[in-house]
Chain A
Amino acid sequence: MALEDEGNNLRAEEMLLNVGPQHPSTHGVFRLVVKLDGEMIVESEPVIGYLHRGTEKLAEDLQYTQIIPYTDRLDYIGAMLNNYALCHTIETALDLEIPERAEYIRVIVMELNRIGSHLLAVGSYLLDLGAMSPFLYVFQERERIVQMLNQISGARLTYNYIRVGGVRLDAPPGWLDEVREFVPFMKEKVKMYDNLITGNEIFLARTKGIGVYDTETALAHSLSGINLRCTGFQWDLRRKRPYSVYDRLDFEIPVGKNGDCFDRYYLHLLEMEQSLRIIEQAVEQIPESGPVMGKVPKMIRVPKGEYYTGIEGTKGELGFYIVGDGKDKPYRMKIRRPSFVNLQLLPKLLKGENIANLIAILGAIDIVLGEVDA
């Protein structure tokens, strides 16, 4: 479509710009076809699927326990939560009893993983906005988390640790003390990030009032997690539909006010603080000893029926929907991937925006392509 500049009798054209799939700020192989009028975005269309591995289809040929390592590869910076989400659904279907110690270990590793994921979200967001140092700082703290998770699970990224009925291994001796020491250290670091980033004038100018949407829009697009809470809507599955031992722990659900990119960034920091509170309490409440694996049938067969449970993932509601037919493999598995769902709003947010805001808005939605494409 040619646009006419009538005043000067010039012909102006829209420009089609491919952002990605090889672009440093799309957080993976994500492509955005943007139609530009000057610097204004007229239309944008996300193109996904470059990382599609067909996890859901593959799961139909796998026994339930065999699916767990595949979930590691969804949102690969929050693998513990993915493990748990799947196991939780199966456990709900089988109505399994989980040992107390296992539940607490699960909560601790999940919250540690959540902090690691949020750290990376903050760091990569700042990198998108052109500040390179925070991205490297966050890896220092994340390294400690990854080391701890490595000690308990034997892997740094793809943990494959949470099992149906419990966890694979008990915490090694001294591990809980290490977690206990980590909490005050991390609290200081969160304060440091608050000091370093939040007050920065340039950062504020780039994020305040950018990419704003209200609660209705967010709910209409079924956003969840920080993308929903930034509009001021209090929704956290850890509180609203408590699972594991979250109902015994005291924590708050921070919400934003304006629903802009700044709120989305700031909620990451606030949530890290709350996660630290959870870890602090969980480390105190955890039973001294006990089994970490419940009584699980030798062969897990999910009875006929449809099962869905969602947990509060790092990016929003992470749910597994399983259709069982009494066999050892699911008849159908569907994963509610928060990154994928949250990404829906992007074209709407980008419409009419300046191209300079594209990266700021995309970064604040905080997607992980492994999860978007599954």
Chain B
Amino acid sequence: MFWYWDTHPLQWSSALAMIIGGVVVLFLSLGVVAYAIYGQRKFLGWIQGRIGPNRLGPFGLFQTIADIVKLLIKEDIVPDQADRLIFLLAPIIAYAPAFMVLAVIPFSAHHVFTANLGIGLLYYVALTAITIHGVMLGAWASNNKYALIGGMRSAAQMISYEIPLGMSLVGVILMAGSLNLNTIVSAQQHGWWFIVPQFLGFCIFVVASTAELNRTPFDLPEAESELVAGYHVEYSGFRMAFFMLTEYTYLFAMSGLVATLFLGGWSGPFLPGWLWFAIKVTAYILFQFWVQGTLPRMRQDQVMSFSWKVLLPLAMLNLVLTAVIKGFFM
């Protein structure tokens, strides 16, 4: 059949299905991003005693679309002293992996558009590491000091937090015995969601993923009050939008990963799988917005020492505990 391309990948029908799948996921992610931004503005507005966007369309639902159109028709400014080629390429380098990681996230029970990849989790972690190159190159090529500081901070932060993030994932891998995200979901279907046995790992993952996403309280790379806009300070128009798109696509991907690894993925009673997945993803995204509306920003050196001195040892401990319990009692 057309859709079961993961079992026989080398056929024309499979190639067509992959392209269709890619396009569908692209539009899905764009929709999620648009309404995540809308949701963020609305939700933050409520937290802050405001109304949020309410002008365009019912409840301001078309606000983000208007914003995107605005960004599209803006001039694409390249600073004179910028490294032109890299400056123009950087947003794409940043965005491509953000979109590619969506390939392995199982959106629903009948993983129609999901690559049933044996090393799914490794693929995810490896690809996210590419984005930092886009961010750093963009920052460097802008020839702007604020961007440079933002880019350097971003690099230091992402590298530091990737390690505890990866470590916290190993606990889940041990529990499920697989790197395949579909297997991890099915391992949670009979028994506890991994948030219960892997609670420490979950906490580490949430903190580290917040830092990976450059969100409050780890939003130093684009700290508005310090670095104006951080690494994308010189970008305008749709290239700036690409950086924003990267950020929110990652938010979506990371929420999907949290849902898959710790909250049982698409599995759940009564409701269809895709709806369960959507609920869990939305919950995590709202949690991120809630944190954003609540906490101040950490300082660079504190962020670093927190990663290396607190999160990493905790992640190690979690790994050892999981291994010992799994080895002796299960």
Contact = CB atoms under 8 A, between A and B. Distances in A.
Interface of A: 15, 17, 23-25, 39, 126-133, 136-137, 140, 200, 202-203, 205-206, 354-360
Contacts of A17: 145-146
B295 A200 contact: yes
B267 interface: no
Query: What is the interface of chain A mostly: helix, strand, loop, or mixed?
Result: helix
Nearest to A196: B294
Given A136-B50, A354-B301, A356-B301, 16 more contacts: A24-B224, A126-B296, A129-B296, A130-B223, A130-B225, A130-B295, A131-B295, A132-B293, A133-B47, A133-B48, A200-B295, A202-B296, A202-B298, A206-B297, A206-B299, A355-B149
A127 B47 CA distance: 15
5 pairs of A and B residues whose beta carbons are closest in the complex? A130-B297, A131-B296, A136-B48, A25-B225, A129-B296
B299 A358 contact: no
A280 B296 CA distance: 33
B120 interface: no
B122 to A, nearest CB: 33
A190 to B, nearest CB: 17
Contact of A127 (B225, B294, B302): B225
Interface of B: 44, 47-50, 145-146, 149, 216-217, 219-220, 223-226, 228, 292-302
A357 B300 CA distance: 10
A91 B295 CA distance: 48
Contacts of A137: 48-49
A132 B48 contact: yes
Contacts of B224: 24, 130
A354 B300 contact: yes
Most-contacted residue by chain A among B294, B296, B300, B301 (CB, 10 A): B296
B298 A15 contact: no
A140 B48 CA distance: 10
A138 to B, nearest CB: 11
Contact of B49 (A25, A130, A140, A360): A140
Contact of A205 (B149, B216, B302): B302
A202 B295 contact: yes
A253 B163 CA distance: 50
B316 to A, nearest CB: 23
Contacts of A136: 48-50
Given A23-B228, A24-B225, A25-B226, A131 B47 contact: no
A160 B94 CA distance: 54
A305 B219 CA distance: 57
